[in-house]
Structure 1
Amino acid sequence: MDPHLLTTFVTVARHGSFSAAAAELGYTQSAISQQIAALEADLGLPLLSRRPVEPTPAGRRLLEHAEPLLLRLRAARADVLRAAGGPRHRLTLAASPLGVNATLAGRLARARAAQPRLEVTVVTCGRERVAAMVAGGGGPGAGGRHRRAQRPAAAPDAGPLTTIGAGEEDLVVALPADHPLARRAALRLADLVDARWLQTPLCPLPRLRDLVGDGFPTGLEHRGDDVRTVVALVAAGHGLTLLPASALPPRPPAAPAEGPVGVPVGAPRLVHRVELLHGALPPGPAADLARALTA
């Protein structure tokens, strides 16, 4: 059995979704379906039911073997590389709090697998600090920002940096599960100007006022960049905010309503764009990592 196919199978089973597995692994949904089909053809057994997506009895048995096997393979690879010795390449990836989503994390995993001597340290900090670290050290950085769809983004003023889009996703209004608007299919930002909002660096209120106009009173000011704190404050009713849908904790459809929910923004369309920043990168591990992260 191909370890890559096993990895795809384990990821789909964990998420219960082909599309979520595709986002994590950086493939298209059709490629994920083809890989699962190839694994099922190899074994001659169905491994996943499709509606809902969950392991069949044979799939559950395979899961019992697949995860330990993949762990052993990773351990064997690391052990062989340690025994082989040789120079190691150490890079620091500076990232804003919302700069590393599941897609970028999956690309980073594949980049590290392709460069076995590569050691990456991920440092989370504010966007301006990301730009300063990249300008000072020359390594890549991943920054995330909310913006109107189709509007070009400007790189921070920190010297001659290259900015490359690494992905984007629609923003949602994060609000408590018991909020009167929580069951709406979509919300217009203009209809929320009188609601109380969190003033947080992750979604500064002046940007919303630039888009829509006056309003958006502050319910609570949050100083920091911890996403979990913002999610907890929203859930407790301290104010609304905008977040990428992937920043909210997943909730099974049958589970009771707990925590915040995300309602899409109908107008204007707003997206969270992840951008890779880097200075001049000569051929080598840093340039290879930059290409992998924006593939």
Structure 2
Amino acid sequence: MDPHLLRTFVAVLDHRSFSAAASALGYTQSAVSQHIAALEADLGARLVERRPVAPTPAGARLMEHAPGLLLRLDAARADIARLHDSRPTRLTLAHSPAALGPAVARALAQLHTATQPLDLEVQVLGRQAVVEKVLTGRADVGLVDGAAAPHDPLPLPDLGPTVTLAVTEETLAVLLPSSHPLAGRRSVRLTDLTQARWIDAPDTAIPLDRLRALCRTDGFRPHLRHRGTDLHGVAELAAAGHGIAALPLSLATALPGIAAVPVAEPRLVHRTELIHPAGPADTARQLADLVTGRRPAPPDRLPS
């Protein structure tokens, strides 16, 4: 299966248009049509309905595989390129909004002092975008957060040749408006809130589908959908009564206008994990050592 044809297929279905896909990819519309026809001939199945543009059942099934396949190809290319690009004084860190805590901030300050001059860039992204940045070599280190049982890893996708390390585990809390009947409680049970008004903020707060999986319920339905990485915006919406959300307690208590109540049941934590390639740049390795308290690995060996 030709990856160039597969990229064209994904673009056509993402844009729901042959002409828009051609514009995005820098092809002519006839070239896009030829790519789709060649891919259909290769797989022996019609993949795209033309009018209107939509996936056939076979196309929908291929779309379940295509993004992951293309991401792994990009990751392989980045892994090879990394062998020839040590970038000893450069570090790009991508993190989800609630993942960069005091421990990482202190480690960055230590690294800045030890590495002169350090060209440091920090990017705030959604969780999936953080993973993609690390896999494709556009970020040296990623930090992602989520909810899990104590000491359990986060449910990340197949990351290929990467290293994933636990950074922190802390109390998970629910953000409530200060006028909420539960705002004065010492703790809450998530199962008592399955039918509450929730803010669906999958790139900022704990995703609602994750809460459904952890509590084994079909509740936690969104009252409002928030797209983006603005933590303060989610807090303002919660404070105004638009819904509630789940975040780490230390961060939630620092947000204005809301009450943060720890989650008592089920027994969950807010967990942050660090991701870097199996063969990281020196600055990425040093940051990982500082954040996790590991002894530095020898330069010619991968971290365990």
Letter aligned with residue 251 of structure 2:
A
**Residue 114 of structure 2 aligns with which residue?**
114
1:82-101 maps to which residues of 2 (within 5 A)? 89-101=89-101
Letter aligned with residue 240 of structure 1:
I
Letter aligned with residue 247 of structure 1:
L
Letter aligned with residue 229 of structure 1:
G
Say which of 191, 207, 218 aligns to 1:214.
Answer: 218
Letter aligned with residue 89 of structure 1:
T
**Residue 234 of structure 2 aligns with which residue?**
230
Count of aligned pairs: 203
**TM-aligned CA deviation for residue 283 of structure 1:** 6.9
Say which of 238, 241, 245 aligns to 2:245.
Answer: 241
Is 2:92–2:140's contact at 8 Å kept on the other side of the alignment?
Answer: yes
Normalising by structure 1, we get a TM-score of: 0.64
Secondary structure of residue in 2 paired with 1:172 = strand
**TM-aligned CA deviation for residue 225 of structure 1:** 1.8
**Residue 104 of structure 1 aligns with which residue?**
104
**Residue 189 of structure 2 aligns with which residue?**
188
Is 1:96–1:143's contact at 8 Å kept on the other side of the alignment?
Answer: yes
Deviation beyond 3 Å, 4+ runs, structure 1: none
Counterpart-to-counterpart distance in 1, 2:286 and 2:214: 38
Could you tell me the percent identity over the aligned residues?
43
Q: 1:154 to 1:121 in 2, by over 3 A?
A: same
The unaligned stretches of length 5 or more in structure 2 are 1-86, 294-304
Counterpart-to-counterpart distance in 1, 2:281 and 2:213: 41
Q: 1:204 to 1:284 in 2, by over 3 A?
A: closer
1:167-178 maps to which residues of 2 (within 5 A)? 167-178=168-179
Counterpart-to-counterpart distance in 1, 2:167 and 2:136: 22
Counterpart-to-counterpart distance in 1, 2:141 and 2:114: 18
**TM-aligned CA deviation for residue 292 of structure 1:** 1.5
Letter aligned with residue 201 of structure 2:
T
Q: What RMSD, in angstroms, separates the aligned Cα atoms of the two structures?
A: 2.1
Normalising by structure 2, we get a TM-score of: 0.62
1:125-274 maps to which residues of 2 (within 5 A)? 125-137=125-137, 139-201=140-202, 202-212=205-215, 213-250=217-254, 259-274=257-272
Letter aligned with residue 198 of structure 1:
I
Counterpart-to-counterpart distance in 2, 1:190 and 1:161: 35
The unaligned stretches of length 5 or more in structure 1 are 1-86, 252-257
C-alpha offsets along residues 108-139 of structure 1, whole Å, 9 cap, x if unaligned?
A: 11221222322211011111111111112171
Counterpart-to-counterpart distance in 1, 2:99 and 2:121: 15
Letter aligned with residue 291 of structure 2:
L
